[in-house]
Structure 1
């Protein structure tokens, strides 16, 4: 089968010549749990030309779902509970700088991933883009590393949610914790088995709660800072002057201030990781070229308002030498917002904040499960995972992938045993830098994508979304990711702090990723594709194939939602 290319408004349209369709296996039909349709042709744009498997997911997610997921999908315990550590380590200015730089990395990364996702809204997302436009071994290694990372993170989020529930449980015990784990796990698993539409609706609700919480906290914090609290004490930027804007971490003077700020990069990244989810969801959203483009463009405002605004307010309300910033209860008591309001004499907010953070933890587990099931499904379509994982129901649910990932929730029960809990925490630490590796590979993939388009005569400016800052945005995210990956474990090299365990935890991701690349290269011996050989046609739908006109809302509530999210 020969493939030709024509230009349309926004995306290249694949045109297939059936004259040599006999080159494909005759039994390659619709890949589904249900019996395939014998009349299905292999030249269907949704059929992978390498494995002959058909992409069976359906576009059932609405624009408002993807917009809200992009807006607040990754707001979680990292911001609400973990941000206190960034202030304690780096001071208010150090924390703010870390969140600003990490936020710029996240936005630069999503500009790269978003442009590729709008061009090719297909299953596998950024993992498939790495396989297609960077190198097959890079896609294989990236995919399985992220799958491992997410399968470890899912039970960690469920454990965190169970601990948050204990905030209201005066008789908290191991048996109660087990019951919470079971209940929360069943909730997330059921949502996934109900299909992508239910996932979209659940995340829309969770995101609405998180947005209301963070906006409420920022406004309440501003009121307190200006003297509107019960004690009517105007704080302003007092704590930026005393004890100071920067904390000294590990060393006195300017070096200590630098180290405090740099140490916060990993902590800040934990708040931003997952923004690339929208590229995974692009295969199941209606009108993806419009929806994903809008989601990427709005991320800048989300970062400035939610993340930067939150860190700025907290840094104004609590001095970095407050010992409560480093406490780790796993509940609202650890939140720097709670500590700030307690200092101002406000005692009624902890339960409200804890409830909001609980929804964030559940939402994180729900989103992670969705992401990893679609990653495994996408890899199976391209032959990087067992073929059976590409099976879908008639409603487009990757049933085998969802079933396999559901087993990862069992790891949450490791928290009930002290020895097992230590092992789980160690595994969680091992995956801490996987996100930075993913962002770096996305940047590298984009550079090849952009150069390949230019060599093959595509005009990016005619696409539905392109960034004028490229390739500098890609260079920016690659540079900072490499800096953090290489120097993340600096503490183990300081005098008296050497620890073999900490060294392994800080750097095991690098040899593991390289081992996956090397193993796949030796096993499959994939060919390095020249820029003129990169595939910008196969499986990529035309505008007409993914176009969708949103029905006009009839109720006032629907009109408000339509105005905000479409």
Structure 2
């Protein structure tokens, strides 16, 4: 990367300059600074490479994959489910290629929100940032609720007093991990990621054993369920149309399992050797998607019939898992409790991880003037304490689940934000195209970077095309005969007009100038290699050496 230092911002008469007021800079108050050239980032690089590698491998593996995969099989059939996960995985990976190249070039706070604001348009960056922060803060209590329900697998009585106590303990634990600092968060995610990886590998092995007749009932299944009831499930109709609709519905459900996979770049400003760490993480994500998602769904489709009535009975515990259903059908009695315990750690980890991502998103928004500046305050050790406190308050929404009516509202709000992910993915891809044009217009060779993809811009176009199609047609069920429901229609499409209103509102109020590719800021506030290079102390124990070999 060229080592070019941008000229200082001189204030000037440009009313459209992207500036933010930050106090206590150079011991002065109310000093206007350019958010790109003189940005004062308070976070510190305390996360190890092995932390970011494990977060990349298993950071977003949660209850959606382990519990809701049964619905994917029921709606699309075994082959339809695998094809849906392959296609959705390809969209997610192409998006990661786009955001990864930008993050390796500019490992700074704010992640992809900053990239969108900087290289596309501040109006779009503001809109994406508001929606993502809103989405993460609403999903935060949902993970606590999911973990609480998982505990009911053992606590059969499960009175309201027990539920409140369990949720309070889960909240305190997840919050404490974040308040202790980024290194504690990294260590905890490393441990949870190991558990989740072990769970995935264990489920795959257990599924293969069941399929080959190694279970107590010694029933060799093979590909029997691909023949009867068949490879594709008809959904809302019969024949080829019903099978196609089942597969398309699975695209939406599979996206929930990949949701948040792009948040890996949020840690770019707090990891040591970010350019090396992120490059390795992005390169390894292909195999994560192939093994942890596609292979897992393939095995599920071998051992459970798509017309099994238990697949659509959502209990929120391990009883909903298609693997547990297969184990019970095969006569295995012990593993369901072990699976439930492992999924519980996944839900707890997801709550902690969402808190980290949401607080850093809020911090990055405040740092660039998109949120109150007080949210950009950090401690001496680089902890965005005010942003963390703000995000922590959303945990309290979990107590709404103790009331049936309030729980319905919470679920409605969560579903309302489910498709924000595709808006984010599409925005990231469009931003990359602008980033690429800016580099070309200014004579900067991408091939000299630590990470670049030679197939670009094809992956970016792939993301934009599929994201647009899915956003446009995701509510198709509402328009089928006899299925009209105003609430479902709003949930399916309200995210689009809200996004456009946020973009338009910011543009009307702030009037940011849309820059040409040759005007894009490709240099300021981007650290040089020397500034972010860190030589880690070689491990001395055999265990440390093994971990270092595997994850760095």
Residue 426 in 1 paired to residue 397 in 2?
Answer: no
Query: How far apart, in 1, do the equivalents of 2:406 and 2:331 lie?
Result: 40
Matched residue, 1:8: none
Q: Deviations over 1:296-349 (max 9, x none)?
A: 000000111111111000100001000001011000000001001111111111
CA contact (8 A) 2:20 2:368 kept: no
Matched residue, 2:161: 175
Shift of 1:369: 0.8
1:363 to 349, 360, 372: 349
**What secondary structure does 2:512 align onto?**
coil
User: What is the number of equivalent residue pairs in this alignment?
Assistant: 546
Alpha-carbon spacing, 1:17–1:127, altered in 2? closer, same or farther (3 Å) = closer
TM-score of the pair, normalised by structure 1? 0.94
Q: Deviations over 1:358-400 (max 9, x none)?
A: 1111111111111111111111111111111111110000111
1:120 to 106, 113, 117: 106
Alpha-carbon spacing, 1:102–1:29, altered in 2? closer, same or farther (3 Å) = closer
Query: How far apart, in 2, do the equivalents of 1:150 and 1:454 lie?
Result: 35
**1:71-110 aligned within 5 A:** 71-110=57-96
Aligned-residue RMSD, C-alpha: 2.0
Residue 54 in 1 paired to residue 43 in 2?
Answer: no
Query: How far apart, in 1, do the equivalents of 2:365 and 2:414 lie?
Result: 23
Matched residue, 1:504: 490
Residue 12 in 1 paired to residue 2 in 2?
Answer: yes
Higher mean Cα deviation, 190-199 or 136-145?
A: 190-199
Residue 139 in 1 paired to residue 125 in 2?
Answer: yes
Matched residue, 1:263: 249
Alpha-carbon spacing, 1:52–1:482, altered in 2? closer, same or farther (3 Å) = same
**1:128-277 aligned within 5 A:** 128-277=114-263
Shift of 1:172: 0.6
Shift of 1:53: 4.7
Q: Deviations over 1:178-236 (max 9, x none)?
A: 11111111111111111111111111011000000100110111111111111222111
**1:374-413 aligned within 5 A:** 374-413=360-399
Shift of 1:49: 3.8
Matched residue, 1:562: 548
Query: How far apart, in 2, do the equivalents of 1:286 and 1:100 lie?
Result: 32
CA contact (8 A) 1:29 1:38 kept: no
Query: How far apart, in 1, do the equivalents of 2:491 and 2:295 lie?
Result: 32
CA contact (8 A) 2:420 2:495 kept: yes
**What secondary structure does 1:217 align onto?**
helix
Query: How far apart, in 2, do the equivalents of 1:373 and 1:171 lie?
Result: 36
Structure 1: 4+ residue segments shifted above 3 A: 20-24, 28-32, 35-39, 47-53
Q: Deviations over 1:157-195 (max 9, x none)?
A: 100000001111122111111111111111111111111
Q: Deviations over 1:120-141 (max 9, x none)?
A: 0000000100000011101000
CA contact (8 A) 1:49 1:538 kept: no
